[in-house]
Amino acid sequence: MLSASTLPSAQARLLEELSEELRALDDRALRRRLTVVDRIDGPWVEIGGRRLISWCSNDYLGLSAHPALAEAAASAARDWGVGARASRLLAGSTRWHARLEEALAAWFATDAAIVYPSGYLANLGTLGALLSSRDVAFVDRLAHASLIDAVRRTPATLRVFRHNDLSHLAMLLSRAGGARRRLVVTEGIFSMEGDACPLAGLAELADSHDTLLYLDDAHGAFVTGATGRGTPEAAGVPHERFLYMATLGKGLGAQGGFVAGPSPLIDYLHSRAGAFLYTTALAVPVAAAAAAALRVLAEEPARREVLRRQAARLQERLASLRLPGAADRTASHILPLILGEAERAVEVARRLWDRGCWAPAIRPPTVPEGTARLRLSVTALHTDAHIDMLIDALADVIT
């Protein structure tokens, strides 16, 4: 490694500027640090010799460590190797990618599906391919950063509507008559709020304004709806009303992102989505594991029921504590506890840690200023005793 004195001066200056910015982030409790997990055992994690219950995993159905996924990944790694070796359009499209896409299309009853190496890339690639300078995108104010980043990178006009506020959206839509495409971008279950989007009303509004709907169902796919077909199924709105995107790394316990839809859309993305074209394909064992997860879900529907029951239990127990900042509108497996300033959220997270509960502080810019929070996510792996332990800890820590 070069010492400071041998660094080129431009780089030494850059590092000095970055260090200064890091100090400023530290002063505002906004600096991020990685927590290295040494071992995972169901909902338990081991970190630096401490065993804690994790309340921050998105492996909602507990599939990530399922033996069928592990075996599918191990077997694919033995037969195919690990890396996909190239982008999908070069040598990277294996039979496992094709099988996974066919299985996703069958799951959502669409013509086809396209898999990206992550959900972030799926949003970047898809929205980037669909939006031009002649278009207007209407994005919910609390939509995930990947959606906002994706739209901002396009030359389309960005309009932000108040969270889940259909009247505000209607007003903005009525002012965008001249656009080639109008595209509403929102989430099925909001990643940091845990509340659902009013899908039925939204679909009606979009129809009446001849407008497209892009639904990111990262936190609803495979988890919500009577058969795990996601928030459209839960809301009773046909899937084809949406341009439907979701991830493989949450409810499915694997990794990746996808769009499931009509053939012309998927074919177009094969040719025009930069984040699909210019990146190495999803690792083959991961594609095989995701395909196995779909089979497990079909065979073990009770996992969704366990998750629903445990989410309801945590919601009820939280409501009975009457904690300041507990959202009253959450009815999902994501439960935010809004604490205000970043310093307070960090302090509460630290005290929970001392009581064996891992729920890191979520701070701006991930959430709006003044709404730093704990984001508790329940999984099918949490037992009643784990929930009781969290509730006791919260009752002690938040006053």
Q: Least Å distance between CB 391 and ligand PLP? A: 25
Spatial neighbors of 67 by CB under 8 A, at least 6 apart, are: none
Contacts 24+ apart (CB under 8 A), 319-328: 321/391, 321/394, 321/395, 323/394, 323/398, 324/398, 325/373, 325/398, 327/193, 327/194, 327/195
In Å, how far are 39, 46, 48, 49, 116 from 36, measured between CA atoms? Answer: 9, 9, 8, 11, 26
Q: If you compute the radius of gyration of the chain from its CA atoms, what whole number of angstroms results?
A: 22
Q: Least Å distance between CB 191 and ligand PLP? A: 4
Q: Which residues pair with 159 in a beta bridge?
A: 138
Single out the segment in contact with ligand PLP by CB under 6 A; choices: 41-49, 67-75, 114-122, 160-168: 114-122
Residue choice 64, 146, 231, 315 for contact with ligand PLP (CB under 6 A): 146
- Asked about 144 being catalytic, the answer comes back as yes
Should residue 164 be labelled a site residue for ligand PLP when binding is judged by CB under 6 A? no
DSSP 330: -
Contact pattern from residue 233 through residue 272 relative to ligand PLP, giving x for each residue in contact according to CB under 6 A and a dash for the rest: --------------x-x-------x---------------
Please identify, using beta-carbon distances, which residue of 146 and 211 lies nearer to ligand PLP: 146
Helical pair 302-321 and 384-397, crossing angle rounded to 10 deg: 20
Residue choice 84, 105, 172, 218 for contact with ligand PLP (CB under 6 A): 218
Q: Least Å distance between CB 349 and ligand PLP? A: 19
Single out the segment in contact with ligand PLP by CB under 6 A; choices: 113-121, 155-163, 323-331, 352-360: 113-121
Helical pair 119-130 and 145-152, crossing angle rounded to 10 deg: 30
Residues in the chain: 399
Contact of 248 with 241, CB cutoff 8 Å: no
Catalytic annotation, pick one of 59, 135, 140, 187: 187
Please identify, using beta-carbon distances, which residue of 150 and 393 lies nearer to ligand PLP: 150
Q: Least Å distance between CB 395 and ligand PLP? A: 29
Residue appearing with tokens 């990944």:
73
Should residue 216 be labelled a site residue for ligand PLP when binding is judged by CB under 6 A? yes
Q: Least Å distance between CB 123 and ligand PLP? A: 6
User: Binders of ligand PLP: how many residues, by CB under 6 A?
Assistant: 13
Q: Least Å distance between CB 320 and ligand PLP? A: 28
Should residue 330 be labelled a site residue for ligand PLP when binding is judged by CB under 6 A? no
Should residue 187 be labelled a site residue for ligand PLP when binding is judged by CB under 6 A? yes
Please identify, using beta-carbon distances, which residue of 245 and 394 lies nearer to ligand PLP: 245
In Å, how far are 58, 217, 255 from 186, measured between CA atoms? Answer: 19, 9, 21
- Asked about 209 being catalytic, the answer comes back as no
- Asked about 217 being catalytic, the answer comes back as no
- Asked about 219 being catalytic, the answer comes back as yes
Should residue 191 be labelled a site residue for ligand PLP when binding is judged by CB under 6 A? yes
What are the two backbone dihedrals, phi and then psi, of residue 359, each rounded to the nearest 5 degrees? -145, 85
Should residue 135 be labelled a site residue for ligand PLP when binding is judged by CB under 6 A? no
Q: In the complex, which residue's CB is closest to ligand PLP?
A: 119
Spatial neighbors of 212 by CB under 8 A, at least 6 apart, are: 181, 182, 183, 184, 206, 243
Q: What is the dihedral of CA 305, 311, 314, 319, to 10 degrees?
A: -120
- Given the rule CB under 6 A, which residues bind ligand PLP? 118-120, 123, 144, 146, 187, 191, 216, 218, 247, 249, 257
Give the residue numbers marked as catalytic.
Answer: 58, 144, 187, 191, 216, 219, 250
